[in-house]
């Protein structure tokens, strides 16, 4: 359960205005897709949600409380690349999430606690269709499988908000359709609000329940950095989670059920 | 005619080519040695293989009457012990300070300039200080190697740790990792293979410092022996000792390489 309020948020680097006057409210369990030209501040916005950048002015609230100023388990992330751990197997990558949660000092689980965690990790791997690859290392996986792994990893701590930064940007078009279905189903099955950045406007329309377009309203050719981007279109896509029932991915199952 | 950059030797051919420089070197020595010995049978500069073999046999198989030890092996043990302890200490310092500098911004601000400066001190220049302060025993010799090797390892590990993709560290934090867990489960495991690489690269200078320290103040060790018998121009001792040191260094480099491949299979996988 997480609603998000963005209140008069500006982001500037010196004289360079990246984002200006962002103002919107996102309800719990929305699937927000964010599109916009490159350099329009989409990723900066995502980094602010992660807590690794801070707004210059304004505030971001989760369920009415100010956002924590560093990354935490309430906000999961899937990057375009580099977000799985190369030294751990597929199973180890997911297991790590449980080990970090329960073994504060050693970072490793043993005995019964480990067996329980493995069971939960295997369920997550099954949900993204990776159960057959559990003992492989990331370097032995295709790009699509690595992204599936990264998604499974992110779901392990049951984040209230899932952030996706062009997660399918590096994948083949054919593979993307599968991934779209997977992420829709996981979103429908889990209680989380999703923010997904994409540069593919079709993807944005297909996946989201709400589409935000980031663009500059004003432009000064003499001083291109004087004005930043803001939300120029905010569309509720009338579809809801049930209307895409027909082509459900058999691999995707409720994870937190 | 194909370009020479596109021509590859077959497997057997590559082995033969690799052996060729070694064979040529031995061959050149044999010829030069026999020419000199023919002119002067007492020549000490390029002893014949038979002389070298006889000396080596007495060093490696017979007890030295004064010390009651077999010199070749007691020298080897003394040198390898010093080297092993020094490299162990350097590796430990490299991991601890390297990771701390690479991952924690405050530690980086505190230590990076200091380590950069210390690593520029020529270790041999402070060898007299070490002997004055620490005495002529083992501690001074091991310290010299550590001072020569550790800063290089620390800086290398710090660079490698800082090179880890930011995405990985952020991802781990969104999975709930504390700073300590981040180091323990994400950074450290990825630094082990880098540490082995760093040690392999510093192996040469470690031997250099070891032999320098042994040459100046020691009573046993491979470097000590070489510099001791230099006074008698005993090339029949020096040459096999140098070859032996080279072999030891080569084998330890090779062993570290094998260890890396065996212990960290994920570093060399492809789809």
For the segment B37-56, what is each residue's pLDDT rounded down to a tens digit? Answer: 999 988 888 999 999 999 98
Model confidence pLDDT, tens digit, residues A159-195 = 999 999 988 887 888 788 888 888 888 898 888 999 9
Mean pLDDT in residue range B134-142: 91
Q: Do the Cβ atoms of B266 and A137 come within 8 Å?
A: yes
Confidence (pLDDT) at A251? 47
Asked if ipTM goes beyond 0.85, one says yes
What fold characterizes domain A4-247?
Rossmann fold (3.40.50)
CATH H superfamily, domain B59-263: MetI-like (1.10.3720.10)
pLDDT of the residue at B95: 96
Domain residue spans of chain B: 8-46, 59-263
Which of these ranges, A144-148, A252-256, B134-138, B239-243, has the smallest mean pLDDT? Answer: A252-256
- A-chain residue closest to B192, CA distance: A87
Nearest residue of A to residue B177, measured between CA atoms = A100
Class of residue B43 by CB neighbours under 10 A (exposed 0-12, middle 13-18, buried 19+): middle
More confident residue, B24 or A230: B24
3-state secondary structure B109-129: HHHHHHHHHHCCCCHHHHHHH
Task: Give the closest of B168, B176, B190 to A100, CB-based.
Answer: B176
Question: Which range is least confidently modeled, A202-216, A227-241, B10-24, B191-205?
Answer: A227-241
Residue of B163, B167, B170, B174 to mutate when probing chain A, most A C-beta within 10 A: B174
pLDDT of residue A241: 46
Query: What mean pLDDT do residues B74-85 have?
Result: 95
Is a pLDDT exceeding 80 seen at residue A42? Answer: yes
Sheet holding A161-165, edge to edge: A65-66, A57-62, A4-13, A16-26, A229-236, A210-216, A31-36, A193-197, A161-165, A75-78
The most confident of the ranges A16-30, A162-176, B39-53, B104-118 is B104-118
Q: Is the pLDDT of residue B233 over 80?
A: yes
B238 to A93, B58, B156, B243: CA distances (angstroms): 54, 14, 35, 9
pLDDT band for B74, please (50, 70, 90 cuts): very high
Q: What is the mean pLDDT of chain A?
A: 86
**Minimum-distance CB partner of A107 among B170, B181, B265:** B181
Task: Say yes or no for a CB contact (<8 Å) between B271 and A139.
Answer: yes
Phi, psi angles (nearest 5°) of residue A23: -145, 100
Between residues B210 and A245, the one the model is more confident about = B210
Q: Cβ of A87 and B165 within 8 Å?
A: no
A136: nearest CA partner in chain B: B266
What's the pLDDT tens digit per position in A64-97? 899 888 999 999 999 988 889 999 999 999 999 9
Torsion-angle region of residue B68: left (phi > 0), alpha (psi -120 to 50) or beta?
Answer: left
Chain B contacts in chain A segment 146-175 (CB below 8 A): 150, 153-154, 156-157, 159
The reply to whether residue B167 touches residue A137, judged by beta carbons under 8 angstroms, is: no
- Interface touch B171/A97, C-beta < 8 Å: no
> What pLDDT is stored for residue A238 in this prediction?
65
What proportion of chain B, given as a percentage, has pLDDT over 90? 76
CB contact under 8 A, B190 and A86: yes
Per-residue pLDDT, A224: 81
**Higher confidence at residue A39 or residue B141?**
B141
A167, containing H or E segment:
none
Distance of CA A70 to the CA centre of its chain: 16
Residue A245 has pLDDT above 50, yes or no: no
Query: Closest Cα of chain B to A25: distance in Å?
Result: 23
B153 by DSSP, 3-state: which? helix
Q: Quick one: pLDDT band at residue A36, thresholds 50, 70, 90?
A: confident
Q: Which chain A residues have a beta carbon less than 8 Å from that of B269?
A: 137, 139-140
Residues of A in contact with B176 (CB under 8 A): 72-73, 97, 100-101, 157
CA dist., res. A175 & res. A168, Å (int): 9
Name every chain B residue with its beta carbon within 8 A of the beta carbon of A85: 168, 171-172, 186
On the question of pLDDT at B192 being above 90, the answer is yes
More confident residue, B107 or A206: B107
Question: In this model, does residue A244 exceed pLDDT 50?
Answer: no
Which candidate in B167, B168, B171, B193 is best for mutational testing of the A interface (most A CBs within 10 A)? B171
Among A75, A96, A154, the residue with its CB nearest the CB of B185 is A96
How many angstroms separate the Cα of A132 from the Cα of each of A123, A127, A129, A253?
Answer: 12, 12, 8, 16
Among chain A residues, CA nearest to B269: A139
Q: Residue A250 above 70 pLDDT?
A: no
Q: Would you give the distance in Å from CA A56 to the centre of its chain?
A: 23
Helix (H) or strand (E) segment spanning residue A93:
helix A90-102
pLDDT of residue B270: 64
Q: How far apart are CA B119 and CA B140, in angstroms?
A: 18
Q: What is the pLDDT of residue A239?
A: 58
């Amino acid at each position: 359960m997480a609603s998000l309020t963005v209140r008069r948020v500006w982001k500037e680097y010196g004289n360079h205005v990246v984002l200006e006057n962002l103002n919107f409210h996102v309800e719990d369990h929305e699937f927000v897709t964010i599109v916009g030209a490159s350099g329009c501040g989409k990723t900066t916005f995502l980094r602010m949600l992660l807590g690794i950048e801070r707004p210059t002015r304004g505030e971001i609230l989760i369920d009415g409380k100010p956002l924590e100023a560093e990354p935490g388990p309430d906000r999961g992330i899937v990057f375009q690349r580099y977000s799985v751990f190369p030294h751990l197997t597929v199973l180890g990558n997911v297991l790590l999430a449980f080990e970090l949660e329960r073994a504060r000092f050693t970072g490793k689980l043993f005995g019964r606690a480990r067996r329980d965690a493995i069971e939960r990790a295997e369920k997550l791997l099954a949900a993204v269709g990776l159960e057959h690859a559990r003992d492989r290392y990331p370097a032995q996986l295709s790009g699509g499988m690595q992204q599936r792994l990264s998604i499974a990893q992110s779901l392990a701590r049951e984040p209230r908000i899932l952030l996706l930064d062009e997660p399918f940007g590096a994948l083949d078009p054919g593979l993307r359709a599968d991934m779209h279905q997977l992420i829709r189903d996981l979103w429908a099955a889990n209680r989380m609000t999703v923010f997904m950045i994409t540069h593919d406007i079709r993807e944005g329309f297909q996946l989201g329940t709400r589409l935000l377009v980031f663009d500059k309203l004003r432009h000064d050719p003499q001083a291109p950095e004087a004005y930043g981007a803001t939300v120029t279109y905010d569309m509720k896509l009338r579809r809801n989670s049930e209307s895409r029932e027909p082509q459900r991915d058999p691999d995707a199952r409720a994870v937190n059920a | 005619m194909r370009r020479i950059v596109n021509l590859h030797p077959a497997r057997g051919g590559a082995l033969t080519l690799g052996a060729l420089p070694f064979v040529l070197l031995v061959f050149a020595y044999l010829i030069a040695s026999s020419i000199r010995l023919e002119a002067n049978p007492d020549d000490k500069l390029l002893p014949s293989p038979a002389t070298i073999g006889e000396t080596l046999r007495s060093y490696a198989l017979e007890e030295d009457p004064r010390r009651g030890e077999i010199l070749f092996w007691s020298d080897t043990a003394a040198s390898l012990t010093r080297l092993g302890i020094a490299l162990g200490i350097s590796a430990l310092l490299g991991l601890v300070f390297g990771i701390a500098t690479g991952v924690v911004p405050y530690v980086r601000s505190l230590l990076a300039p200091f380590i950069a400066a210390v690593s520029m001190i020529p270790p041999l220049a402070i060898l007299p200080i070490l002997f004055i302060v620490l005495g002529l025993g083992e501690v001074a010799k091991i310290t010299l190697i550590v001072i020569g090797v550790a800063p290089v390892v620390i800086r290398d590990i710090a660079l490698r740790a800082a090179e880890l993709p930011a995405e990985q560290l952020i991802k781990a934090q969104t999975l709930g990792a504390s700073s300590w867990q981040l180091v323990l489960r994400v950074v450290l495991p990825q630094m082990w293979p880098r540490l082995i690489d760093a040690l392999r690269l510093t192996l040469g200078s470690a031997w250099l410092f070891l032999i320098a320290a042994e040459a100046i103040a020691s009573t046993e060790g491979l470097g000590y022996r070489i510099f001791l018998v230099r006074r008698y121009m005993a090339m029949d001792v020096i040459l096999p000792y140098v070859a032996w040191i080279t072999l030891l260094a080569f084998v330890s480099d090779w062993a570290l390489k094998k260890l890396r491949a065996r212990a960290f299979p994920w570093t060399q996988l492809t789809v």
